[in-house]
């Protein structure tokens, strides 16, 4: 990736390139795209696309489509010419525009090689993208948002998966053996890190092994209604706004049973 970013100064009409023009080695590009698990179904957006090498590689090697944005007109022209030469001009486009004014909502994968200050400015917008969107950066972090995966092949490469927003109270209905159970759940969230507690059968219930990856949430509670036959409840579900739906496995081995569960945010919360 090569990139240039134009940021305004204190004078509205005076602007300058704040991010240097630096090439990303192809071996690093390959690792970024591998880490993001790019497929032909992906729409890749490269923020600060430079000479277009990231998107051209994504289209030629992985069959993706996408768009790059850069404020250096010469680099945009070079990218368009390179895409045509590579035979991928119909699957990728390059625009001369400010990445902070670019609609990112279509992206399933976003690639970046931007300085820390720019990454920090982008962080709130990236967190608001559709859960499951994959973000890949060469060398620089998104502030205190820890990567889901870090690899190092010549350079550091970081992957974040945009997490669903799950913090707060939830009301669960689970079709467990014996009767349908109503469970109260309170989740705390810091990016993709989740913990919390619940109330099951009128008693406090700890949650264990909580995981959030994009819109996929899992955690474990203990069904202790019958202390002689208590068992772990392994919840797995997909978050869709104010609803989580999935299945819960009770117990293990040949004693395991599988049941449906659904959670909603309480009205007015």
pLDDT of res. 11: 34
68 and 83 share a domain?
yes
* pTM for this prediction: 0.89
Residue 8 confidence (pLDDT) above 60: no
pLDDT digits over 140-183, tens only? 999 999 999 999 999 999 999 999 999 999 999 999 887 888 99
Residue 2 confidence (pLDDT) above 50: no
Write out the residue range of the structural domain in which residue 90 sits: 5-161
130 and 189 share a domain?
no
pLDDT digits over 204-243, tens only? 999 999 999 999 999 999 998 877 889 999 999 999 999 9
Strand segments (E) across 120-207: 134-138, 149-153, 155-161, 168-176, 179-190, 193-200, 203-206
Class of residue 184 by CB neighbours under 10 A (exposed 0-12, middle 13-18, buried 19+): middle
pLDDT of res. 1: 47
DSSP 42: -
119 and 60 share a domain?
yes
Q: Which helix (H) or strand (E) holds 261?
A: strand 257-264
pLDDT of res. 20: 63
157 and 172 share a domain?
no
Domain boundary among 109, 127, 161: 161
pLDDT digits over 85-99, tens only? 999 999 999 999 999
Give me the number of domains the chain comprises.
2
| Assigned domain for 208 exists | yes
pLDDT digits over 183-199, tens only? 999 999 999 999 999 99
**CA distance to 25, 29, 32, 49, 212, per residue, from 22 (Å):** 10, 13, 16, 11, 34
Domain boundary among 161, 186, 215: 161
pLDDT digits over 19-51, tens only? 566 778 999 999 999 999 999 999 999 999 999
Q: Which residues contact 182 (CB under 8 A, 6 or more apart)?
A: 171, 172, 173
DSSP 9: -
């Amino acid at each position: 990736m090569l990139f240039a970013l134009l940021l305004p100064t204190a004078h509205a009409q005076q602007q300058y390139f704040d991010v240097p023009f630096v090439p990303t080695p192809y071996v690093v590009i390959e690792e970024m795209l591998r880490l993001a698990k790019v497929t032909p179904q992906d729409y890749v957006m490269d923020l600060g696309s430079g000479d277009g090498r990231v998107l051209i590689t994504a289209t030629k090697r992985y069959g993706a489509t996408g768009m790059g944005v850069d404020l250096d007109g010469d680099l945009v022209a070079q990218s368009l010419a390179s895409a045509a030469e590579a035979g991928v001009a119909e699957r990728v486009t390059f625009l001369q525009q400010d990445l902070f004014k670019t609609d990112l909502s279509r992206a399933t994968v976003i690639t970046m090689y931007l300085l820390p200050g720019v990454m920090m400015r982008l962080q709130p917008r990236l967190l608001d993208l559709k859960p499951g969107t994959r973000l890949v950066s060469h060398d620089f972090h998104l502030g205190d948002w820890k990567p889901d995966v870090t690899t190092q092949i010549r350079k550091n490469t970081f992957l974040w998966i945009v997490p669903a927003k799950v913090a707060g109270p939830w009301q669960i209905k689970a079709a467990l053996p014996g009767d349908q159970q109503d469970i109260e759940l309170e989740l705390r969230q810091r990016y993709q890190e989740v913990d919390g507690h619940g109330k099951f059968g009128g008693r406090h219930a700890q949650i264990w092994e909580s995981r959030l990856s994009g819109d996929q949430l899992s955690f474990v509670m203990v069904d202790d209604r019958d202390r002689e036959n208590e068992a772990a409840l392994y919840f797995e579900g997909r978050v869709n706004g104010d609803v989580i739906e999935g299945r819960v496995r009770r117990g293990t081995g040949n004693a395991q049973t599988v049941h449906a569960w659904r959670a909603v945010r309480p009205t007015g919360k």
